[in-house]
Amino acid sequence: MDDATAPSPAEQVRLYLDTLRLRMDPDQFRILGTLLDGALTSLSGPAREGRVDVSDEDEVHLTREVKNELLALLAIAATGKMDHHIVDLGNGATTVMDAGAASNPDAVQRARDRVERHRAEQEHTAAVLRGIEEASQD
């Protein structure tokens, strides 16, 4: 298929959504749609805050599958390609990688290392802030 007849990223997202609609729980699909609309709106303009709230009663439908499918859809929208893989990096972290990177153990390990460094930095910052808070209470 040449570039003139290739589906646009928006068309590819619609195609992928059509397949998801057939296989996902309707409530999960609804939440996915809400998250996708919010994310795409946030990306399209500076006026949005970049946050979508999910109601307490809908929280049960915000599963790992929904989050992974959101990552896949955003990758399709951003790149116009559908050959992404969702990669579990451990400790609850997930990322999207193209097929080549996802099949490269070194690339996956580098991503895991970045996540671990970020987690360690967050823990260090939290510990410093706790120390400041405790010192200020004395």
Per-residue pLDDT of the chain (138 residues; tens, 9 = 90+): 556 688 888 899 999 999 999 999 999 999 999 999 888 887 776 655 556 778 888 899 999 999 999 999 999 999 988 889 999 998 888 999 999 999 999 999 999 999 999 999 999 999 999 999 988 887
Q: CA 119: distance to chain centroid?
A: 17
Is 75 in contact with 99 (CB distance < 8 Å)? no
**Burial group, residue 121, by CB count within 10 angstroms (0-12, 13-18, 19+):** exposed
Q: What is the pTM of this model?
A: 0.76
